[in-house]
Structure 1
Amino acid sequence: MPGASRTLPAPAVRVTGGSKLGAMNAAGAPEWVVREDASAPTVVALYLRQALGVRSPDELPHLRGIDATPPDRSADEQHELERQWRAYFAMTVEPLAHPSPVPLDLVAGFDTLVALPTEGFDLLEREMRPHAARAVAFARDVQARYAARSDSAGAVAYRAYAGALAQHERRIGRRAHSFELNVQVLPLSQRGVWWIGSLTIAVTDGLRSDIAAFDAAIAPIIAEIA
């Protein structure tokens, strides 16, 4: 009937490994995937951001429980350090989108959590080394707490993504476009959602645990990319 609304069925989803949500792969159907984690390399990078007095990204809140150290360097040296950190952060968050033009080497003291290009990152490597043990311990703790919450929640944790996608499809009257979204659940000092890469958002852990609030927060993200 002309003008009648049409309700699309909710997308069929599967959950694998407790950290990945994807569309059923029917022939010719759009594909979408959400990967959620509290990546230890990402947490280490953000720990170092505060420990080294790096300001960018300006809009992203600090990690809870970590003091932000005022820079104790010349303005030129701090500028160069921040440039190197931004490049390292981009390679850490989305390595496929930001490949290094030279080989990478693991930085001693950080286990396998930090790899830097073999050229052009001497200042950052020198400055980060004294923070290795504390950064690694902090990141491992964050990752362990996330894993415990994720295991206890099971597939229920992914209803927000599936629900937001189904709501978006009903609103626009078609299947969502194929998309990929990476979600980093982090102990940030403010509740919210921030883009930290072209395919990656950071979500405060407290917000992620609040079902109603997270439903409202993730809906516009899904609508933007789908």
Structure 2
Amino acid sequence: MSHAESGYSAYFTVDTSEVLLVALYLRDCAGLQGTGRPALPPLLPTVRRVETRRLTRPVGGRATLRVEWEAWWHSLLQHRVTDAELPLPPLFEALDGMAALKALLRAHFGTAMDWAAERCAEYALRAGARGADSMDHLLARIIQEREFELGRPARPFTLEVVELPLGGRRAWWVEPDKLLTCQDLFDDEHSFRSYVEPIIRVLA
């Protein structure tokens, strides 16, 4: 994880998220693409689809699984992603009250964790190859440019940038303080700025 400050008012972090990777892995393996807000594209590399009927039929079926996943996703984005609790065996307490989702995770926990760990390792290599704090420097520069336009320091704000291995090059602002981005977006500074600058204009 990297983090930086612009002056004394703006604070941002840049990282990926193991718990969001696990959540999205479960979404894709259950064929729930398009579920949740924001509705993110499929993961890369593609996750193999599994049959969920046998697991979920006793606890409400596919419709219940979709509702429970959406509720979990919403709760993960309600707070700082870095504080999100990863459901862990044997009881998976973070998913209490979500029997269908808990059944899916229990059946695929090892695979989901291995997949997420591989993506986190790849992300660390990718972030390292960019050079130290390269996204931090670009974010700080965008904020400084906005401060110059305004003729004053930015208002105090925080922005949590979460990079995820998703198809495409785009980002989603989860108000008020999160930006979910495809990992490839930062490699195209013009596109990255097209998503970030409007957010900084609102926040600063």
With normalisation by structure 1, the TM-score equals 0.73
Give the equivalent residue in structure 1 for 2:122: 145
Amino acid at match of 1:40: E
Give the equivalent residue in structure 1 for 2:89: 108
Q: 1:197 to 1:85 in 2, by over 3 A?
A: farther
Question: Which residue, out of 11, 20, 31, partners 1:42?
Answer: 20
Give the equivalent residue in structure 2 for 1:60: 40
Tell me, in whole angstroms, the C-alpha distance in 2 between the residues paired with 1:220 and 1:174: 18
CA contact (8 A) 1:192 1:203 kept: yes
With normalisation by structure 2, the TM-score equals 0.80
More helix by share: 2
Tell me, in whole angstroms, the C-alpha distance in 1 between the residues paired with 2:177 and 2:52: 30
Q: How many residues align?
A: 195
Q: 1:69 to 1:196 in 2, by over 3 A?
A: farther
Give the equivalent residue in structure 2 for 1:11: none
CA contact (8 A) 1:93 1:197 kept: no
Question: Which residue, out of 67, 70, 86, partners 1:83?
Answer: 67
Tell me, in whole angstroms, the C-alpha distance in 1 between the residues paired with 2:150 and 2:93: 43
Tell me, in whole angstroms, the C-alpha distance in 1 between the residues paired with 2:200 and 2:13: 13
SS in 2 for 1:195: strand
Q: 1:39 to 1:96 in 2, by over 3 A?
A: closer
Structure 1 residue 136 and structure 2 residue 119: aligned? no
CA contact (8 A) 1:52 1:128 kept: no
Give the equivalent residue in structure 2 for 1:126: 103
Tell me, in whole angstroms, the C-alpha distance in 1 between the residues paired with 2:172 and 2:183: 13
Tell me, in whole angstroms, the C-alpha distance in 2 between the residues paired with 1:109 and 1:143: 23
Where in structure 2 are there 5+ consecutive unaligned residues?
none
Give the equivalent residue in structure 2 for 1:182: 160
Tell me, in whole angstroms, the C-alpha distance in 1 between the residues paired with 2:48 and 2:164: 16
Question: Which residue, out of 126, 129, 146, partners 1:168?
Answer: 146
Amino acid at match of 2:31: G
Q: For residues 187-226 of structure 1, what are the structure 2 equivalents within 5 Å?
A: 187-196=165-174, 198-226=176-204
Q: For residues 63-74 of structure 1, what are the structure 2 equivalents within 5 Å?
A: 63-64=43-44, 65-67=46-48, 72=53
Amino acid at match of 1:41: V
Tell me, in whole angstroms, the C-alpha distance in 2 between the residues paired with 1:85 and 1:205: 23
Runs of 4+ that moved beyond 4 A: 67-74
CA contact (8 A) 1:53 1:71 kept: no
CA contact (8 A) 1:51 1:131 kept: no
% of aligned pairs identical? 24
Where in structure 1 are there 5+ consecutive unaligned residues?
1-17, 26-30
Q: 1:225 to 1:209 in 2, by over 3 A?
A: same
Find the structure with the greater CA-based Rg: 1
**By how many angstroms is 1:183 displaced?**
0.9
